[in-house]
A and B are shown apart, each in its own frame.
Chain A
Amino acid sequence: MAYQDDIELMAHLMRRAGFGADRDELEARAAKGYEATVEELLHPETQPAADPYTLLRYQPASLLPGGQPPMGNVNWLYYLVNTQRPLEEKMALFWHHVFATGNSKVDNYDQLLEQIQLFRENGMGNYRSLLSKVSRNPTMIFWLDNQQNHGTAVNENWGRELLELFSLGAGNYTEKDVRECSRAFTGWTFETKIPRAPYGRFPWKFEYRPEDHDDGEKEFLGHKGRFNGEDILDIVVQQPACGKFICRHLYNFFVADEPQVPAWPIESPRDQKAIDTLVGVFRDSKFEMKQVLRVLFNSDFFKNARFQHMKSPAEVVVGTLRFVGGYELPKPGYGELSMNTAYMGQDLLNPPSVEGWHTGKEWINSGSLMARINFMAEKVGDTAAPGVRGIINRLKAKGSLSPDQLVDGCLDLLGPVQVGADTKQQLLSQANEWGQVSWNNGSSEVADEHVGQMLQLIVATREYQFA
């Protein structure tokens, strides 16, 4: 069974470091090896990027989507569904969770997509330099009002969230630190926006205005000096709290669900040793995300954390679309399709607030559970979809299946998914009602249907909600 173990482990890696993979891909990757696959994921530049021209040919409005959904969502969904660099896109999603920036205020998907591009390009790079880029990102500046943070009138929004949500976590600084941090970022703004009329939107550009910067002495986290923003970032990343905070985010996103962020100062991590390991790499590598991720994916604590993570709506939608196939091109209906994460509680590019989304168990409530199950069931029930055909063809090769074989075959090819005995019993009693499923004597349509229905039941299980 060594081979099946490899497939299961590879499926786990691809669900977490990407958005899942079908059996052909899992087999190819398993043949290449686990560590080699991790390296490939960590080096997205070795794989072709998603082709933006195909997107624009079918959805030109997604180039500069403006402030109204769904064209901004269409744009990102296209990348998520088509990328051959799954970890690059997954890290963009990770940083979008952390540096949560939303259209509700920005009112400009052009700028939000530019920020996602920043995460794509730098998400696996150096955290210290990412912080620097985010501090200069006009979308972030506008989102947290730093253009209103003046030498003569301090606005604390960016300064506070930089410490609370982007680096240290609550409880690791004082109100005075917030104030001093904000002072250091006075004058960090963006060029005056060109009026939208008559030529439409123009990109926003960072600008530093020395005359608006408070150059006086500051006292920040025990350090004294005439600090500017970069000095603050240098101090921040050296704080032990910083590594702990970022690594706990990584653990929560990639390994296993943690309590919600506000509980972190009070509740210990579920695996302190794992966090310590990651923090050590973070510190020793001078904040290189790629090195932290390499250790994470190759660790036993990661490999053993199967199905310990509630799929986020983005993982549900993107994973399903990539799996069933046929959504590579934006086509009519893509706009509505792109809003499905929002129906499940995760409006991409528009998180509820700067705190981002509550994850894990909190993705689930009566309405969101209906939305996710209904979406997945509709997609996997389409027996004409390429991914579903792929499953049918593999099963069909056996000619005829007993109820047991049908259930096991579908569970295997959809994951492999592990289900509890009770769930298995229900799936089996459904299959028993159909009896032997056969493609041999002209009943192939019925057999196809039964596979589709079995897949629908499986995606509706409790177990399938976990990755």
Chain B
Amino acid sequence: MANTDPCVVVLQLTGGNDYVNTIIPYNNPLYRDNRPAVGIPDNNIIHLDQAHGIPDYMAPMKAFWDEGKMAICHGVGWKESPRSHFRAMDIWHTCEPIKVGTEGWLGRVAREFDPHKENVVQVVSMGPSLPRALVCPGVPVACVAGPLERYGFLPQVQGNERTAVLDRFAKMYSPAIGSGPVMDYLSETAIDSLKGEDIIKVAPQKYTSTVEYPNSPIARKLKGIAQAHCADIGSRIFYCDHSTFDTHAGQNPGHSLLWKAVSEGVAAFWADLRAQNHADNVIMLLFSEFGRRVHDNGSGTDHGAGGVAFVIGEKVKGGHFGEMPSMEASKLVQGDLDPNMDFRSVYSTILDKWLGLNPAPIVNGTFEKPAFLN
């Protein structure tokens, strides 16, 4: 029986994706004026409508648009956004633009769903590090760095001995009294992973697919997510990323390779989910920590402010949400698009309309909710 709880997949475009070369205002003369070096030539633009296009290297995304299953959220960011990758990403993850946040927004979601930690594989992150968005005290996250099959402790110990050794290991990580926050964190991580490994490891056995994924890191991560999702192990939050979108130089070859990998991976992922009848309860959010400067620097683009986010899914209402901030020189902030949709608005719609949660305590405030979900 397929799990029907709503699930969220986040694909983070790390490094600052260039908004105006992703959603191109191809009729706007200011686009050409500002992009003498890295503008996408007219015959390489796929039109979405009378005003917006995407570069041809994002071609697989067009199908989602045509089906009305892709929402484009314009001008996302926040006022006073820093041009630092590090800090900007932190703010996206924690919804704390002023102080340093310790809880991630998705970590809070996970805690709401499962306050007693009944499912240790509710949150699955593909990659060797743990994104701050998923961090929340008491919330287990299964971080899968390689193929799902290789997830587990002490693989060299097998047979009858294994149960005894893992039992000893579990006891070493379950001290009667706490011994400091980092020690406790280690304990929790180990015990949760120990419980999760048998579930994660066998997920691929429950998975058969005819969909061929491209050979790219992001496609491998998305395939891992599809395997976990289709195994119906109760995972509801999935995270992955692709990098680096920090295209200060050599943008045109660079940006195209990045988006080609992402678009093809995303297309394979959805084809897979649909083929397995596991697509209806999933939405996917693609975001980046900031957009890039409006005027190019002769070969690439420097750090900017307002950016673009995408939400894709069977239940998503496709279309434009918000509008692209003006490229008029007088409207720019330090040469950058002035964000006109708070990023927490995008989260708020997802939380309210998709996950059925009150957004305010999760995103630290009340924000407008663009209507890309009914």
Residues of A within 8 A of B (CB): 104-105, 144-145, 147-148, 150, 152-157, 160, 164, 170, 175, 178, 257, 259, 261-263, 266-267, 310, 342-345, 347, 352-355, 358, 360-362, 364-371, 373-374, 377-378, 381, 420, 422-423, 426-427, 429-430, 456-457, 460-462, 465
B182 near A175: Cβ-Cβ < 8 Å: no
B99 touches A266 (CB 8 A): yes
Return the chain B residue nearest A430 by Cβ: B168
Rounded to whole Å, the gap between the CB of B20 and the closest CB of chain A is: 18
A152 to B298 alpha-carbon distance, docked (Å): 9
Chain A residues near B193 (CB-CB < 8 A): 366-367, 369-370
Task: Determine whether the beta carbon of A342 is less than 8 Å from that of B128.
Answer: yes
Please name 22 pairs of A and B residues whose Cβ atoms are closer than 8 Å in the assembled complex, sorted by A: A155-B248, A155-B298, A155-B300, A157-B246, A157-B302, A160-B303, A170-B82, A170-B87, A266-B99, A355-B86, A360-B182, A362-B129, A362-B130, A366-B141, A367-B142, A368-B145, A369-B190, A374-B154, A420-B175, A420-B183, A460-B172, A462-B172
CA distance A426 to B82 in the complex (A): 49
A366-B141, A366-B192, A369-B193 known; A105+B244 contact, CB < 8 A: yes
Q: Do B153 and A370 touch across chains, with their CB atoms under 8 A apart?
A: yes
Tell me, rounded to whole Å, the shortest Cβ–Cβ distance linking A130 to chain B.
22
Main secondary structure of the interface of A (DSSP, over half): helix
Name the 9 nearest CB pairs between A and B, nearest first: A366-B193, A153-B298, A145-B249, A367-B143, A422-B175, A365-B130, A365-B143, A157-B248, A145-B248
Whether the Cβ atoms of B145 and A261 lie closer than 8 Å is no
Q: Contact mask B70-89 → A, CB, 8 Å, 1/0?
A: 00000000000011111100
Name the contact of A352 in the complex, choosing from B129, B145, B183, B299 (C-beta under 8 A): B129
Residues of A within 8 A of B155 (CB): 374
Instruction: Tell me, yes or no, whether B346 is within 8 Å of chain A by CB.
Output: no
> Bound complex: CA of A353 vs CA of B129, how far in Å?
13
Q: Are A367 and B144 in contact (CB under 8 A)?
A: yes
Interface size on B, residues (CB 8 A): 61
With both beta carbons as reference points, the residue of chain B lying nearest to A367 in the complex is identified as: B143
- In the complex, whether B100 has a CB less than 8 A from a CB of chain A is yes
Given contacts A148-B300, A343-B145, A352-B129, contact A262 B175 (CB under 8 A): no
B residues 218-260 in Cβ contact with A at 8 Å: 243-244, 246, 248-249
Complex CA–CA separation, A57 to B24 (angstroms)? 54
Interchain nearest-CB distance for A333 vs B (Å): 16
| Contact indicator A369/B186 (Cβ below 8 Å) | yes
Q: Is B156 an interface residue (CB 8 A)?
A: yes
Question: Which residue of chain A lies nearest to B150 when distances are taken between CB atoms in the complex?
Answer: A370
Question: Mask for B92-109, Cβ within 8 A of A = 1, else 0?
Answer: 000000011000000000
Contact of B310 with A by CB under 8 A? no
Please indicate the chain A residues that have their CB under 8 angstroms from the CB of B300 in the complex.
Answer: 145, 148, 155
Q: Does B187 contact A (CB under 8 A)?
A: yes
Interface 0/1 of B102-146, CB less than 8 Å to A: 000000000000000000000001001110000000001111111
B210 is an interface residue with CB less than 8 A from chain A: no
Inter-chain CA distance A341–B128, complex, in Å, is 10
Closest to A363 in B: B129
A360 to B185, alpha carbons, bound, how many Å? 12
Q: Which positions 163-208 of chain B face chain A at CB distance < 8 Å?
A: 168-169, 171-177, 179, 182-183, 185-187, 189-190, 192-193, 196-197
Complex: A374 Cα to B141 Cα, angstroms: 19
Partner of B172, one of A266, A378, A426: A426
B15 within 8 A of A: yes
CB distance from A151 to the nearest CB of B (A): 11
Contacts of A377 in B (CB 8 A): 154, 156
Q: How far is the CB of B285 from chain A (nearest CB, A)?
A: 20
Q: Which residue of B lies closest to A456 (CB)?
A: B154
Q: Are B90 and A144 in contact (CB under 8 A)?
A: no
Contacts of A157 in B (CB 8 A): 246, 248-249, 302
A154–B298 Cα distance when bound, in Å, is: 8
Inter-chain CB contacts under 8 Å: number:
169
Q: How far is the CA of A361 from the CA of B129 in the complex (A)?
A: 11
Give the residue of B168, B189, B248, B299 whose beta carbon is less than 8 angstroms from that of A365.
Answer: B189
User: Are A160 and B83 closer than 8 Å at their CB atoms?
Assistant: yes
Nearest Cβ in chain B — how far from A279, in angstroms? 22
Contacts of A152 in B (CB 8 A): 298
Contact of B249 with A148 in the complex, beta carbons under 8 Å:
yes
With A371-B145, A422-B176 known as contacts, the answer to whether A366 contacts B84 (CB < 8 A) is no
CA distance A355 to B88 in the complex (A): 12
- In this complex, what residue of A is CB-closest to B101? A263
Give complex CA distance A7, B45 in Å.
Answer: 68
Task: A153-B297, A353-B15 given; name 16 further pairs at CB < 8 Å.
Answer: A148-B248, A157-B249, A160-B302, A170-B84, A262-B86, A353-B244, A365-B189, A367-B145, A369-B186, A370-B151, A371-B145, A374-B154, A420-B179, A422-B172, A422-B174, A423-B175
Q: A310-B182, A422-B176 are in contact. Are A366 and B129 (CB under 8 A)?
A: no
A257 to B142, CA, bound (A): 24
Contacts of A262 in B (CB 8 A): 84, 86-87, 90, 100
Tell me which residues across on chain A come within 8 A of B3, comparing CB atoms. Answer: none
User: Nearest Cβ distance between residue B317 and chain A, in whole angstroms?
Assistant: 34
A345 with B297, Cβ < 8 A, contacts A144-B248, A368-B145 known: no
Which residues in B have their C-beta under 8 angstroms from that of A178? 83
Q: Is the CB of A155 within 8 A of B297?
A: yes
Contact B186 A462 (CB under 8 A): yes
The reply to whether the CB of B68 lies closer than 8 angstroms to some CB of chain A is: no
Chain A residues in 8 Å Cβ range of B186: 364, 369, 462, 465
Q: Which residues of B contact A465 (CB under 8 A)?
A: 186
- Within the complex, the shortest CB–CB distance from A340 to chain B, in Å, comes to 11
Which of A344, A420, A426, A457 has the most chain B CB atoms inside 10 A of its CB?
Answer: A426
**B334 interface residue per 8 A CB criterion:** yes
Complex Cα distance A460/B171, Å? 12
Instruction: Check B129–A368 contact: CB distance below 8 A.
Output: yes
CA distance A460 to B191 in the complex (A): 13
Q: B173 touching A462 by the CB < 8 A rule?
A: yes
Nearest CB of A to B152, in Å: 6
The answer to whether B172 touches A423, judged by C-beta atoms less than 8 angstroms apart, is yes
B14 within 8 A of A: yes
List B contacts of A430 (CB < 8 A).
168
- Give chain B nearest CB distance to A458 CB in angstroms: 10
- Partner of A147 from B171, B176, B249 at Cβ < 8 Å: B249
Asked if A352 and B243 make an inter-chain contact with CB atoms under 8 angstroms apart, the answer reads yes
In the bound complex, how far is the Cα of B192 from the Cα of A415, in angstroms? Answer: 28
Complex Cα distance, B144 from A134, in Å, reads 35
Question: Provided the pairs A352-B243, A353-B244 are in contact, do residues A261 and B175 lie with their beta carbons within 8 angstroms?
Answer: no
> Measured between alpha carbons, how far is A465 from B145 in the docked complex, in Å?
19
Chain B residues near A153 (CB-CB < 8 A): 297-298
Q: Which residues of B contact A370 (CB under 8 A)?
A: 151-153, 193, 197
Q: A343-B145, A364-B185, A365-B141 are in contact. Are A460 and B128 (CB under 8 A)?
A: no
* Residue ID in chain B nearest A102 by CB atoms: B244
- Complex CA gap A160/B90 in Å reads 18
Given the contacts A364-B186, A364-B189, A370-B153, A355 and B85 also touching, CB distance less than 8 Å = yes
